[in-house]
């Protein structure tokens, strides 16, 4: 036996004779040393990243973990933690999640610079958690997001949206009729509104007929669970332990995710199949007003799975986000009777006393409604925080900070819209903030509800027309009331911002108006 073999045998014999506690300590020490070596090696390979990161203020970080322990909180508390960090360190804050460098930027001018730069056109890593459900593309980024976006953009332009006004008016009138039939008890208006926005989306962006949209497989399930789906993914984004595959599987979260993916895609398959069959029968619409599903199918560059993924992403973001905005506008008007009177009387003055067809020109003339709409977007962000990845070094803060390649940039829109530097008494609900004289005094980049740049919100024109049409049709028929103060309602801040307890209000049918009693609310 050689010396090496004998030494190895002796070492093995020694280890086998060790007590359990000693053995565990030895293994733990070995693991710690291995982790330390990995950490030191990583630092040696990322000297530039570490050098630039050190120039940005932020909380002290632990080896390997970084600031991960700081974010051991409930998902709806994560943004408050970020807000506290911003309050302590300023408009530029650095923190580490393991080896991942995150920099929060809340200066309006640099937010504009970053979002419009061609050096920062990659979505941040948090979006990866939605990829199993909706794949890569318009919402999550990836290699083909530009092509996906270019393909569907014509369905969101002004000409297409103007043609969609027929559907918005019909569904808005139906919503008003349903609300008129309710009693005077308080109720959550969101379920009524989301059913309406879902029908709007089905008959416009999805390209379906009314009959087809009323008979879709799993539609009610998807409408009822869309908010749950995004809350589920937000939990995965913000609970780092759920990002460990074994833990994710043990907790049962993987099974829940797989079930949701299956059930949501049953609906989307039905939508896509219906449009394929219609196109085969030459029942497509004119190119100018074609829906997104038809465009994806006819393009020819997308696989069946890619078509379904993009359809699901745009379906859920359009009907869910639109419903949240419309419900919030109605709730704001219910809590702000003086603004409800202003909006209602303006409708009578600009559109007349009859409940006629509402056009884009009508919508543009309603300035008070626009102010309420914008105050909703300020307080109820469509995206509470967005994230981008730096692909090429970019300098901000007047040259004082250079963002290294690979940095995850966080843009805290919810906090920006409540920054007292730009919004006096920011927690107070006041549509008057958007009077022209107030807007002129404010940095225009302090209000970015749709984001900016090449990855901004695709559906802003569509949302404005749909939501405002629904609100006008509703206000013509009912008066809205609510108890308490808006400022006292609890917010649920996750991927988007909503009210934790729903959108509760009461409705009372209005008596018919004529030209002599327009100013009577």
Specify the residue for token string 């740049």: 453
Q: Using CA atoms, how far apart are residues 425 and 415, in angstroms rounded to an integer?
A: 13
For range 140-154, the mean pLDDT: 91
Q: pLDDT tens across 104-138, in order?
A: 999 999 999 999 999 998 998 888 888 999 999 99
Instruction: Show me where the domains of the chain are located.
Output: 48-509
For range 334-344, the mean pLDDT: 97
Q: What fold is seen in the domain 48-509?
A: Cytochrome p450 (1.10.630)
Partners of 395 in the beta sheet? 402
Residue-level pLDDT at 61: 85
How many beta carbons lie within 10 A of that of residue 84, not counting itself? 11
Structure tokens at 362: 């009508």
Does 380 have pLDDT greater than 70? yes
Backbone φ and ψ for 489, nearest 5 degrees, come out as -75, 140
Specify the residue for token string 């829109």: 413
For range 165-181, the mean pLDDT: 96
Q: Using CA atoms, how far apart are residues 321 and 139, in angstroms rounded to an integer?
A: 13
- Please state which of the ranges 33-42, 175-184, 409-418 shows the lowest mean pLDDT: 33-42
Structure tokens at 55: 């120039």
Q: Render the burial of 5-29: b for 16+ CB within 10 Å, e for the rest.
A: eeeeeeeeeeeeeeeeeeeeeeeee
Does 515 have pLDDT greater than 70? no
456, with CB counted inside 10 A (0-12, 13-18, 19+), is middle
Q: How confident is the model at residue 76 (pLDDT cuts 50, 70, 90)?
A: low
Does 89 have pLDDT greater than 50? yes
Q: Using CA atoms, how far apart are residues 104 and 71, in angstroms rounded to an integer?
A: 15
Is the pTM for the entire model greater than 0.85? yes
Q: Using CA atoms, how far apart are residues 489 and 481, in angstroms rounded to an integer?
A: 15
Q: pLDDT tens across 200-229, in order?
A: 999 999 999 999 999 999 999 999 998 888
Pair 201, 322: CB distance under 8 Å: yes
Give percent above pLDDT 90 in the chain. 63
Q: Using CA atoms, how far apart are residues 390 and 381, in angstroms rounded to an integer?
A: 24
Q: Using CA atoms, how far apart are residues 503 and 69, in angstroms rounded to an integer?
A: 34
Task: Please report how many Cα atoms fall inside a 13 Å half-sphere around the Cα of residue 328, on the Cβ side.
Answer: 27
Residue-level pLDDT at 520: 32
Q: pLDDT tens across 443-467, in order?
A: 999 999 999 998 999 999 999 999 9
Q: DSSP of 412-423, one letter per residue?
A: -HHHHTT-TTTS
Q: Output the CA–CA distances (angstroms, integers) from residue 55 to 164, 382, 401, 505, in the order listed.
A: 51, 32, 7, 50
Strand pairing class (401-403; 394-396)? antiparallel
For range 358-386, the mean pLDDT: 95
- Please state which of the ranges 170-174, 317-321, 431-435 shows the lowest mean pLDDT: 317-321
Q: Using CA atoms, how far apart are residues 105 and 111, in angstroms rounded to an integer?
A: 7
């Amino acid at each position: 036996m050689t010396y090496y073999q004998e030494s190895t045998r002796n070492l093995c014999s020694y280890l086998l004779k060790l007590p359990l506690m000693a053995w565990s300590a030895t293994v733990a020490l070995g693991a710690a040393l291995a982790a330390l070596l990995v950490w030191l090696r990583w630092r040696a390979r990322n000297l530039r990243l570490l050098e630039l990161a050190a120039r940005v203020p932020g909380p002290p970080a632990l080896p390997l973990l970084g600031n991960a322990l700081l974010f051991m909180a409930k998902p709806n508390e994560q943004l408050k933690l970020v807000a506290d960090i911003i309050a302590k360190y300023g408009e530029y804050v650095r923190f580490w999640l393991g080896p991942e460098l995150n920099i929060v930027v809340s200066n309006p001018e640099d937010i504009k610079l970053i979002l419009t730069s061609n050096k920062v056109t990659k979505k941040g890593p948090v979006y990866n958690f939605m990829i199993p459900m909706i794949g890569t593309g318009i919402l999550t980024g990836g290699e083909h997001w530009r092509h996906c976006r270019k393909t569907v953009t014509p369905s969101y332009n002004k000409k297409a949206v103007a043609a969609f006004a027929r559907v918005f008016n019909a569904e808005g009138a139906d919503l008003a009729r349903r609300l008129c039939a309710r009693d005077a008890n308080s109720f959550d208006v969101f379920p009524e509104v989301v059913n309406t926005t879902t029908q709007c989306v089905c008959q416009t962006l999805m390209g379906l007929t009314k009959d087809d949209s009323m008979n879709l497989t799993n539609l009610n399930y998807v409408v009822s669970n869309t908010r749950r789906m995004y809350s589920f993914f937000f939990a995965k984004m913000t609970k780092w332990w759920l990002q460990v595959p074994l833990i994710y599987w043990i907790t049962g979260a993987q099974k829940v995710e797989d079930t949701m993916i299956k059930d949501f895609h049953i609906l989307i398959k039905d939508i896509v199949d219906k449009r394929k069959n219609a196109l085969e029968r030459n029942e497509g619409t004119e190119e100018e007003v074609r829906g997104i599903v038809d465009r994806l199918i006819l393009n020819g560059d997308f696989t069946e799975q890619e078509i379904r993924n993009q359809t699901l992403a745009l379906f859920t973001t359009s009907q869910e986000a639109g419903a949240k905005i419309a419900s919030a506008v109605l709730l704001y008007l219910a809590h702000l009777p003086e603004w409800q009177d202003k909006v209602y009387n303006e409708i009578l003055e600009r559109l007349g006393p009859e409940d006629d067809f509402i056009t884009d020109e009508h919508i543009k003339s309603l300035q008070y409604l626009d102010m309420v709409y914008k105050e909703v977007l300020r307080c109820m962000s469509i995206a509470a925080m967005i994230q981008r990845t730096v692909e090429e070094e970019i300098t901000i803060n007047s040259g004082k900070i250079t963002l290294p390649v690979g940095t995850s940039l966080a843009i805290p829109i919810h906090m920006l819209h409540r920054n007292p530097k730009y919004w006096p008494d920011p927690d107070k609900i006041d549509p008057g903030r958007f009077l022209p004289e107030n807007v002129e005094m404010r940095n225009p980049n302090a209000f970015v509800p749709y984001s900016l740049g090449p990855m901004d919100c695709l559906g802003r024109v569509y949302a404005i027309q749909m939501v405002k049409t629904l609100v006008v049709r509703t206000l013509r028929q009912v008066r809205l009331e609510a108890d308490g103060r808006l400022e006292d309602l609890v917010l649920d801040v996750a991927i988007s911002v909503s009210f934790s307890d729903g959108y509760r209000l009461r409705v009372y049918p209005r008596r018919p108006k004529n030209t002599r009693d327009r100013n009577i609310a």
